[in-house]
Structure 1
């Protein structure tokens, strides 16, 4: 139909015999001839279309756009077959109904000048079937992706499967999964299939502003858009990018390209969007499962550690007590030196127990309002002399920073620990950045409820940690430094302190990139007050005058040491192993002057309940509690009218505590 003559006019029988609707249009856009099929297709009477503008056969909304296209086509006429644009065109019937059509165009020459032949085909029924089949297939692929997510063990496994599956489903050349830049890390291809992209390609800048799908319908016609696309594109064809959103931020994207222009219709984009949503949901689920498992593991280790620390405190109390009792029996200088050395070892054991209790979140904290900038300044002065010339400490403090409500001593110890860990990761020197700022946590995450926190971060550009080491970094006794350089309790102590204070510790690390530890702490509300320990008169005499003390302790060795210390201090002592026996003695003997009991007494009534029962029998009875388990100790210590002595204690501490309690006004 592209010959140099005008076939419709020369061969009218053929013009009418062709099964498609045929129209001859002049350069002014008006219909010169229309066959019967055209009039029937568009619902017009025979002979009524000639002289009318071709745009009258289209919906009103499309007419202006079509006139512009008609002008461009007539300026450069060429043969355009059916379906060449890949677009769905719409026709308008005389009754106002619309239907899908395809159009083929051919330029013609006649004695009256240029003409244009349009062949129109109704594809409404075919298109509906085609779209229905495509959508059903895409729905099946989306369901398959969901099934793969359920079967995949890791996010990386799902990412490996997705590109090939999507490329086959869409019939396109290349599909890739791109990770967005985060925490200073550049964007990168996680996995890809097809000839266009591979993992070694460096993406162009890709930031969080791409929150909606980005489509390049025709790469050859839009070179400026192609130049801004995150991954390099072929010279022709089409491309699409669908963002992967996690917690309202762009975490990555699914990208696809093909040599065919205008290839990604609504259904194709919908499939890519479904895949991106599934990938994001799977990543969130796996991350939540890993955080929950990690938290459960740390909690289990914490419970075990807390129990071990309690038993260890009892052992230290017996050892310390026995050594102190031996001090009076040894006359030689060498013997006293050995005893002093053994007592120092007991002291180091007590320090280790304190670290274990810190991890188990059972240490005693004295929270108060802390001026963080001033604390960081003081720590900085100390560390600059400690870190050495090869390591530079840089402090970055947000202006107008609120106070933290924490134990100042424990916070200082935590920061020192984090900075020294960062120094150890910089064997050749470098920069350690300690930053302080406020952060509003909008969504709950493992260890943190929504709210306002102070965020203290310590970052370095050192060796970093691989994922398997990072997963265990906060477990007690886990260390990569070797026994001679660390106990493996540093990060576990910091983590326990943060959680007990109402915050958390988060660590990000990558090998050969560096590590950032973020310590989240509660902001002072202005009403917090420090828990002050009762002051004692150190110069007062601690000697007893024969007052009778009832000792209640379920551990026989600790019970014996307690009784021995008190007798040596001038007190008369009775000792029993449980609460029931203690209550019986109190009923029978009104001469008992003080009750000294452990908080944890094994099965049955605990020391706190015993104290309440004892005072119900004997109002005003002096009671002194003791414990090596910080969780129970803190609970007892907070009870009005009860004083607590923490294990392990020295002889003079026990005797002085009893003397003070007996002297307290009733």
Structure 2
């Protein structure tokens, strides 16, 4: 009867003696493990177990025989594996029970069931739950107004899905390389202290965080980490998984999960953690890109406002400087008056320099780009800096061995920008230090371009120092006009603003990297040269007019008076109006007008370019000279107009106006 029952039970049944030898096996067990009828008897039970698990099974078998009892195995989250005669492995559930043979020998009856199908069903359910979590996190990231809310809610969601005790999201702090926990659930104070030094210690988990590689520790208590011991609280047990948060090619933090169970993180759990980590990294990158874009837009808005202020200020300086020049000619021979006028003129000149810096930040200065040999330019600058920055500052030039194409930039403005960066670097090293100058080339693709840098081929200049560095707040505001960390009276706060405006107007960008105690590195991206530059017209002595008629169009009455006085003193016949409509009427009535001298920004609905176009419809051969407080290239030759008009920047001196007018009336002079 028992023999019939042994064979008819649908599970595989195997009887094993105290030496681990198979005494009896039913047909189901022979079929399940792929053996011929009767061939299992006498074999070691370990032949049904994968080779790498046999030693552990022998120890478990000895322990069970020491305390035999009815015991189900493999029904929990721990998976038992069997092996068929052809080497194929499959998951099983086992129930053990002690039995006694007719001759009173101790035997063990094992009931074995193949759970491949049920395990696949369980895995499908688990994976569906994990996929739903990934989809939910992605939806949260899309709908959230800020990344902090998503990061804050994430640990609890992951802990619930994985059924683990603790989950944390931590980021590496750039200033010291330590981990800062941004959000967590289930972490005690000891673990928070430990996580804060990950990335700086030399244990295997710290190295994994620094290197941006995934790592799993199956048994914290046994310290079975790859590469050596790990930094964990005393008495810590269970398992831990660390998934890196990668920012393109370098780590920015990690997603960490902990469980009190050993080997709690199998393939599906690790896949979920990796998916969540990828979403987190993408969210952080998107947030940083949005911040960069918002910062760039804010700087553009500030630049527009700054340019408008500089334009109005240049009008005021034109009035002040012009009247001082007129007054100077009237009080000639009065030393006291001459000294006061000279002092006021110098102040007006400094004001003009200030507006020039503001216009540089606002990208409304006129640039004259031309091919610049980067290596020669850097070598010349280094030699000049060695003579001017002082003996306490070392200048090192990193020589690029590869030939470099020319950069396309205004050489004077580029020199000024690099000198500004070098002076800032020197000021960041009051006790002395080293400034490193380098140049190279870069190809920016659409995949890795910054919001303010188009894909393309660039020459990159950079200035690096080993000074005190910038705080995060200072770094964020570094290029804002008038922002400075220097003591009162030691800086205008326009140095980096000028550099930023210059490179942006040149079609490039500026990247600042800095952290306290580690110095700063500033890179200037400038486009590669493709076309030759146009040479400037050399200045000559003042040439007076011969009574030609000039029409002055200026909406600011005081500026208009200065222009009229200057031109009248130079021997021209002057007529002045305040808007385009009156100007066109005058041109229609006076065919002897030789030159139209007009401000670009007029107060009515017609700017200087529109006026010039309409004026030449009336008088095709009319000479035109523009003036503006912007000195903005976008107001002239980048408009795509058929005619490109000469531009005289405000505030101008009488001799500059005389030269510009003469070149317009007689370009051969």
Fold shared per TM-score above 0.5? yes
Distance 1:452 1:486 in 2: 34
Residue 23 of structure 1 contacts residue 119 of structure 1 at CA under 8 Å; is this kept in 2?
Answer: yes
Residue aligning to 1:412: 415
Deviations 1:449-500 (A, max 9, x none): 1222222222223332222222211111111213301111111100001111
Residue 219 of structure 1 contacts residue 235 of structure 1 at CA under 8 Å; is this kept in 2?
Answer: yes
Distance 1:37 1:644, change over 3 A: closer
Residue 218 of structure 2 contacts residue 224 of structure 2 at CA under 8 Å; is this kept in 1?
Answer: no
Residue aligning to 1:432: 435
More divergent stretch after superposition (323-332 vs 391-400) = 391-400
Residue 79 of structure 1 contacts residue 106 of structure 1 at CA under 8 Å; is this kept in 2?
Answer: no
Distance 1:67 1:610, change over 3 A: closer
Distance 1:664 1:67, change over 3 A: closer
Distance 2:299 2:52 in 1: 69
Residue aligning to 2:379: 377
Residue aligning to 1:66: 50
Deviation at 1:237, TM superposition (A): 4.6
Residue aligning to 1:446: 451
Is 2:56 the counterpart of 1:51?
no
Distance 1:52 1:598, change over 3 A: same
Residue aligning to 1:642: 645
Distance 1:354 1:53 in 2: 98
Is 2:111 the counterpart of 1:119?
yes
Deviation at 1:528, TM superposition (A): 2.1
Is 2:294 the counterpart of 1:310?
no
Distance 1:588 1:453 in 2: 53
Q: Could you say what the CA RMSD is over the residues aligned between the two structures, in angstroms?
A: 4.2
Q: Secondary structure at the match of 1:570?
A: coil
Distance 2:656 2:458 in 1: 39
Is 2:610 the counterpart of 1:624?
no
Q: Secondary structure at the match of 1:456?
A: strand
Residue 438 of structure 1 contacts residue 455 of structure 1 at CA under 8 Å; is this kept in 2?
Answer: yes
Residue 81 of structure 2 contacts residue 89 of structure 2 at CA under 8 Å; is this kept in 1?
Answer: no
Distance 1:90 1:65 in 2: 5
Residue 138 of structure 1 contacts residue 169 of structure 1 at CA under 8 Å; is this kept in 2?
Answer: yes
Residue 364 of structure 1 contacts residue 634 of structure 1 at CA under 8 Å; is this kept in 2?
Answer: no
Residue aligning to 2:67: none
Distance 1:67 1:372, change over 3 A: closer
Distance 1:68 1:130, change over 3 A: closer
Deviation at 1:215, TM superposition (A): 3.8
- Equivalent of residue 479 in structure 1, options 475, 484, 496: 484
- Equivalent of residue 101 in structure 1, options 92, 96, 99: 92
Query: What residue ranges of structure 2 are gaps of 5+ in the alignment?
Result: 65-70
Is 2:497 the counterpart of 1:455?
no
Residue aligning to 1:87: 79
Distance 2:42 2:668 in 1: 108
Deviations 1:514-540 (A, max 9, x none): 22212111122xx322232223543xx
Is 2:652 the counterpart of 1:660?
no
Residue aligning to 2:571: 570
Output aligned runs, 1:479-628, within 5 Å: 479-524=484-529, 527-538=530-541, 542-628=543-629
Deviation at 1:405, TM superposition (A): 1.3
Residue aligning to 1:4: none
Residue 608 of structure 1 contacts residue 636 of structure 1 at CA under 8 Å; is this kept in 2?
Answer: no
More divergent stretch after superposition (287-296 vs 68-77) = 68-77
Residue 633 of structure 1 contacts residue 646 of structure 1 at CA under 8 Å; is this kept in 2?
Answer: no
Deviation at 1:320, TM superposition (A): 1.1
Distance 2:227 2:467 in 1: 38
Q: Secondary structure at the match of 2:379?
A: helix
Residue 550 of structure 1 contacts residue 594 of structure 1 at CA under 8 Å; is this kept in 2?
Answer: yes
Residue 181 of structure 1 contacts residue 187 of structure 1 at CA under 8 Å; is this kept in 2?
Answer: yes
Distance 2:614 2:507 in 1: 34
Residue 77 of structure 1 contacts residue 106 of structure 1 at CA under 8 Å; is this kept in 2?
Answer: no
Q: Secondary structure at the match of 1:349?
A: helix
Is 2:318 the counterpart of 1:330?
no
Deviation at 1:578, TM superposition (A): 1.6
Distance 1:431 1:31 in 2: 78
- Equivalent of residue 13 in structure 2, options 16, 22, 26: 22
Distance 1:653 1:321 in 2: 12
Distance 1:633 1:139 in 2: 53
Q: Secondary structure at the match of 1:240?
A: strand
Residue aligning to 2:300: 299
Residue 435 of structure 1 contacts residue 457 of structure 1 at CA under 8 Å; is this kept in 2?
Answer: yes
Distance 2:354 2:96 in 1: 88
Distance 1:629 1:108, change over 3 A: same
More divergent stretch after superposition (626-635 vs 326-335) = 626-635
Deviations 1:252-302 (A, max 9, x none): 332334453332123311321232022112201210121111011100011
Output aligned runs, 1:118-267, within 5 Å: 118-121=110-113, 123=115, 127=119, 130-131=122-123, 134-135=126-127, 137-139=129-131, 141-142=133-134, 145-146=137-138, 149=141, 162-163=154-155, 166-167=158-159, 169-172=161-164, 175-177=167-169, 179=171, 186=177, 188=179, 190=181, 193-194=187-188, 197-201=194-198, 202-204=200-202, 206=207, 213-217=214-218, 223=224, 225=226, 227=228, 237-247=238-248, 249-267=250-268
Deviation at 1:42, TM superposition (A): 5.1
Q: Secondary structure at the match of 2:197?
A: coil
Query: What residue ranges of structure 1 are gaps of 5+ in the alignment?
Result: 1-8
More divergent stretch after superposition (19-28 vs 293-302) = 19-28
Deviation at 1:435, TM superposition (A): 2.2
Deviation at 1:580, TM superposition (A): 1.9
Residue aligning to 1:5: none
Distance 1:427 1:43 in 2: 79
Distance 2:329 2:225 in 1: 91
